[in-house]
Amino acid sequence: MNSFQRIKSFAAGIFYLLVALALAVVPHGSLDYIYWIISFMMLIYGTRLLWYYFSMARHMVGGKIVLYQAIIVLDVALFTMTIATMEDYIVLIYLLSIYAFSGAIDILRAFEAKKNDSPVWKKKIIIGFIKIGFAILMVVLAIIFRNTDILVYGFAVSLASTAVLKIYDALRETAIVYIQ
């Protein structure tokens, strides 16, 4: 990770922490802004991927994967925008689903890391299962107690944990494999 990436990671961590704090203090008022920010960020990312595909990656062996990524990200971005008008609890379940999905990705990456004899696979698989378990737990608790605030607080906690990881990544020493 170079200096710029560290600064980016640190800034993102602080931003996530602030959003988590805002959610915890004003559970319902902050929600509207969150999915707009998320969908807007995904829209920009998806568009950038699409541009990269058409200008560069379409010539690359296996480059279609970039196109698929772009389509999926754009699709999710647009879908996130459409749920803005729905009930808060649907929005929260959706956001927690995205969180659980990122956990599933962590597990898939853990398997890939294991295949490559990388020692980080255990950490990745634990994080993946914690994310999925946490998202399910929040939904179950909200159903049992019939209280959507639990979902808001759950989402705030998930954001805070992501923020801590990003700040940790920005500050820790990193080892890379580079072939000279």
Residues lying near other proteins in the complex (CB under 8 A) are found at 1-4, 52, 55-57, 59-63, 65-66, 69, 116-119, 174-180
Q: Over the range 81-104, which residues count as b (16 or more CB within 10 Å of their CB) and which as e?
A: beeeeeeebebbbbbbebbbebbe
CA distance 53 to 51: 5
CB of 3 to other proteins, least distance (A): 6
Q: How far is the CB of 67 from other proteins (least distance, A)?
A: 12
Using CA atoms, how far apart are residues 110 and 106, in angstroms rounded to an integer? 6
Q: Which is nearer to other proteins, 43 or 114 (CB)?
A: 114
Q: Which is nearer to other proteins, 52 or 89 (CB)?
A: 52
- By beta-carbon proximity to other proteins, the closer residue of 115 and 146 is 115
Provide, rounded to whole angstroms, the least separation between the CB of residue 120 and other proteins. 9
CB of 11 to other proteins, least distance (A): 17
User: What is the SS3 assignment for 60?
Assistant: coil
The neighbour count for residue 140, using CB atoms within 10 Å, is 11
Closer CB to other proteins, 56 or 137, in the complex: 56
**CA–CA separation, 153 vs 155, rounded Å?**
5
